[in-house]
Structure 1
Amino acid sequence: MTSRQPSPVPGSIPGTLSGPLSGPLSRRTVLAGGLGALAVPLLAACSDDAPAAGATPGTAATLNLAYFANLTHAAALIGVAEGLFTAELGSTELVEQVVNAGPSAVEGLLGGSIDAAYIGPGPTINAHAQSDGQIVRIVAGATSGGASLVVRAGITSAEDLRGLTLASPQLGNTQDVALRNWLAEQGLETSVEGGGDVTIAPLSANADSLTLLQSGEIDGAWMPEPWATRLVLEAGGTTLVDERDLWPEGQFVTTHLVVRTEYLAQYPETVAALLRGHVAAVTRAVDDPAGAREVVNGRLEELTGSALSEETIATAWEHLAVTEDPVAASLQAAMEHAVTAGTLDAEVDLGGLYDLRPLNAELSAQGLEPVSAGGLGEE
C-alpha cells in the first residue's frame, strides 16, 4: 500500500483585539466572526439534517460544514472550490460555515447547528470534555504543522517577551494553547483573564494580527498559516518559534475533521461521502502542490477579498503538510498543554474520541495505508 503520512520536517473573551475584515461571500457560505457569541445565531439558522424525501437511508438532506480561511484548512478550501464535496454528497446540500477559530465552531457543534468541522485539537478536546465524550468524533486528519510565533524586530528570546503583549486567534484555540503552554515552559506566566508576565490578547479576526503588529499595538502573535508568513513578509516580523521544532519529527496535528457523534450515527453514508471528498482534496494537495496552492488562493480571495502573493503562499505551504493522518500521538500532549495553559480545568480521558473506520475504508479502497487512532478510538 502507498503511504502519504506527513514526512518529518526540520527543526466572553477578555482583551479581544479587533480590526477590519471584509470580503465577498459565496451564496451558500455563512461567515461568522471570531466571537463565539456571535457565531451561534448565524449558524443555527442553517441546521436541517433530516433526510430528504426519497433519500437513501443513512443520507442527510443537509451537511453543515465549518472551516477557516487559513492555509491549515487547505483540504476544506480545495474540497469546496473544486466541488469535490458536492460531487460526492449527491442529493445532500452542503452549507458552508466560515469561522475565525475553533471555539466558534465548537459552539455550533455543541448546539447542533454544525454537523462537521475542520478544527484544531484544542477546541476538539474542549468539546469532548464539555460533553463527557459524547458530542464529536475525529474522523480524519487534515493538516500537520503550519503555526509559528512571529515577533517584532529586536525580540530574540523568551525573556524579551516579559511585559509585552502577544496575540492569538481566539481564547482556547489551538494556537492560543500552544502559545500559553510554551510561555509556561519558559517560566513566563499568563492568565486567561488577561495580564501575567506576558499579556495574550485574542483577536476578532486573524487578519488583525497583521495590522496590529504593523502599528505596534502587539509585539507578536502565534498564528496559523498564512498569517505567520504574512507577519514576516509584510509586517517585518521574525520567527521566534516554528512549532514544528517543539514536536517529535516535527509532526503534530494542527487541523482535523470532526463530526457530531449523533450525525455520524444517523447519516453514515453522508459522512462516508464527505470523507471521499476529503481524501480527494488531500490527494490534490499531495499530487499537485502548485495547482492546489492556486485553488486555495482563489478560494481565500473569495472569502477575504484579496489573494496571497505567490511568495507568501509558496513560503507558507512549505511550513505544513496536508494529510489524512490525524497524528493521534500528539493529541494527548495537546490535552496536557491545554491544562497547563489554563484553558482546560483538568485532564480528560480521550478514549473513544477517534472513529477512523470510514476513513480507513476509503483509504483501503484507494490502495493507501490506513491511519492510526493511537489507542484513542476506532480505526
Structure 2
Amino acid sequence: MTSPNDFPGSTRIAAGQPAGRKRPSGLKIGIAAGILAVLGAGVAVATTAANNAAPESANAAAATSPATELKLGYFGNITHATALVGVQKGFIAKELGGTKLSTQVFNAGPAAIEALNAGAIDATYIGPNPAINSFVKSKGESISIIAGAASGGAQLVVKPEIKTAADLKGKTLASPQLGGTQDVALRAWLGKQGYKTNTDGGGEVAINPTENAQTLKLFQNGKLDGAWLPEPWASRLVLQAGAKVLVDEKDLWDGSLTGKPGEFPTTILIVNKKFAAEHPQTVEALLKGHVEAVKWLNDTPAAEKATEVNAALKEAAGKALPQEVIDRSLKNIVFTVDPLAGAFKKLLQDGVDAGTTKQADINGIFDLAKLNEVTGEKTSAAGLGKE
C-alpha cells in the first residue's frame, strides 16, 4: 500500500554582509520579497506535488482493497467437499466479512476455466489439468494455484465382464469432460496400455466426454462399458449400477513425486491472477475459510461429516445421496491444503500425451505465499512458484 509522500525541506539564506554594515532598506524589501517568492513557490510546488500524489495513493489503495463480491466456482462432487462445507457451513463467508460471496456449480473443469477467464467467476475449485491448460494457453497470465483441496477419489469403473486392460479394445468409456483431470488420466493410462485414442472419440478405445449424471444412466442402460470418474460418481456406478473397479488411480502414484504414496491432486483452488493482484485481502480471506473447511473435514467424526457433506451436496446439486455412496466416497479421499506440486510436471506430460495440452514451462503456476502465511507452515511449490 502506497503511503503519502513527505516533502521535508528548509530554506537558508546567508546575509553575506560584512559585520557592522547596515543593508539599505530598499534592498531589504527586495530581498524580503524574493524570500517570500521563493518560499511561496516552494509551498506551491509542495502543494501541487501533494495534490498529485494523493489521487495516486488513493488509486493504489483502491486497487488493492477488498472486493465487493467474490464469485466462487466448484463442482457438485465429493472431491469438492472442501467447497461444499466451506460454503454450506459459512466458513468462507465468515472470513470474507463485508465481501459478498456468490457461487456457481459446474460439472467439470474446462467449463469452470472458461467462466474464470471470461470474468464470470473470480476463483474456483477445480482439477489440476484444466488449470495447467489455462496457464499454458495464457502463457502464465490467467491463473494461480493458491492451495490444494483434495487428493484421491478417482477410479476407472467398468462392466463386471471386463477383467483386464486387454478387454477394453473396441469398448466405449466416458470421462466428465474433454481435457478434464479424469479425462487426461484415462487417456494417459490407456496410452500406457498400448491403446491409441483420439480427442474426437475415435481410436482403439472410444472415449465419450459425458456429464456425470448422464454417465450413470448410460452405464445402467448398457450404452457405456465404463468410465474414469471422481467421487461420488465412481461409487454410484459401483453401488447403484453394478460396476467394478478396474483401476484405482491412487495405485498409480507411488509417492516418488509427491513424497506421499497413493496421494495425487484431485482438487485444487485457483484464482484469476488479475483479481488476486487487485484484491489480495479477499484472496487471503478465501484461504482462511478454505483452511478452516479442510480442518473441519479432517477433525469431524465420520458420521457427522457424511451427514453435513450430503446436506451440502443436496444444496449444490439438488439431491442427496444414499448413505453407502457417501461413506464409500469419503473413504477414498484425503482432504489437504497441499496441492502436491511435485505431481504437476507429470500431469502436464499426461496432458501432452493425451493430446489435450501442449508442452510448456509451468514455472510460476503456484502462488502459495498467502497459504503459508495463513497456515504458518511451508507447503512446497516444488520449484514451480512462490511459497
- What interval of TM-score do these two structures reach, taking the shorter chain for normalisation? 0.7 to 0.9
Quote the Cα distance in structure 2 between the aligned partners of 1:309 and 1:175.
24
Deviation at 1:304, TM superposition (A): 2.7
One of 104, 107, 115 as aligned partner of 2:122: 115
The answer to which structure has the higher helix fraction is: 2
Cα deviation code 1:29-62 (max 9, x no counterpart): xxxxxxxxxxxxxxxxxxxxxxxxx989520011
Deviation at 1:289, TM superposition (A): 4.4
CA 1:289–1:71: 2 relative to 1, 3 Å: farther
1:197 and 2:182 aligned:
no
Quote the Cα distance in structure 2 between the aligned partners of 1:304 and 1:64.
18
Counterpart code for 2:265? V
Counterpart code for 1:130? K
Counterpart code for 1:314? D
Matches within 5 A, 1:67-78: 67-78=74-85
The answer to which of 286-295 and 169-178 deviates more is 286-295
Quote the Cα distance in structure 2 between the aligned partners of 1:56 and 1:261.
14
Cα deviation code 1:6-37 (max 9, x no counterpart): xxxxxxxxxxxxxxxxxxxxxxxxxxxxxxxx
State the match for 1:329 in structure 2.
342
8 A Cα contact 2:154 2:228, kept in partner = yes
Compare CA radii of gyration and give the structure with the larger one: 2
State the match for 2:353 in structure 1.
340
Quote the Cα distance in structure 1 between the aligned partners of 2:233 and 2:189.
19
One of 230, 234, 240 as aligned partner of 1:234: 240
1:278 and 2:290 aligned:
yes
State the match for 2:383 in structure 1.
375
Quote the Cα distance in structure 2 between the aligned partners of 1:112 and 1:193.
29
Pairwise CA RMSD: 1.5
8 A Cα contact 1:106 1:124, kept in partner = yes
Quote the Cα distance in structure 1 between the aligned partners of 2:162 and 2:206.
16
Structure 1's consecutive aligned runs of 4 or more residues displaced over 6 angstroms after TM superposition are: none
Counterpart code for 2:294? V
| Structure 2: 5+ residue stretches without partners | 1-60, 255-260
Quote the Cα distance in structure 2 between the aligned partners of 1:109 and 1:313.
29
What is the number of residues matched between the two proteins? 321
Deviation at 1:251, TM superposition (A): 1.2
Counterpart code for 2:354? A
Q: Secondary structure at the match of 2:212?
A: coil
Deviation at 1:303, TM superposition (A): 2.7
State the match for 1:27 in structure 2.
none
State the match for 1:84 in structure 2.
91
Relative to the length of structure 1, the TM-score reads: 0.83
| Structure 1: 5+ residue stretches without partners | 1-53
8 A Cα contact 1:66 1:117, kept in partner = yes
State the match for 1:210 in structure 2.
216
State the match for 1:62 in structure 2.
69
State the match for 1:160 in structure 2.
167
Quote the Cα distance in structure 1 between the aligned partners of 2:154 and 2:326.
14
State the match for 1:292 in structure 2.
305
8 A Cα contact 1:297 1:308, kept in partner = yes
Cα deviation code 1:308-353 (max 9, x no counterpart): 1221111111111011000001111000000111111x21111001
State the match for 2:151 in structure 1.
144
Deviation at 1:307, TM superposition (A): 1.2
Q: Secondary structure at the match of 1:77?
A: helix
Percent identity over the alignment? 51
Higher relative CO (Cα under 8 Å, sequence separation at least 6) belongs to 1
State the match for 1:224 in structure 2.
230
8 A Cα contact 1:78 1:292, kept in partner = no
Q: Secondary structure at the match of 2:241?
A: coil
Relative to the length of structure 2, the TM-score reads: 0.81
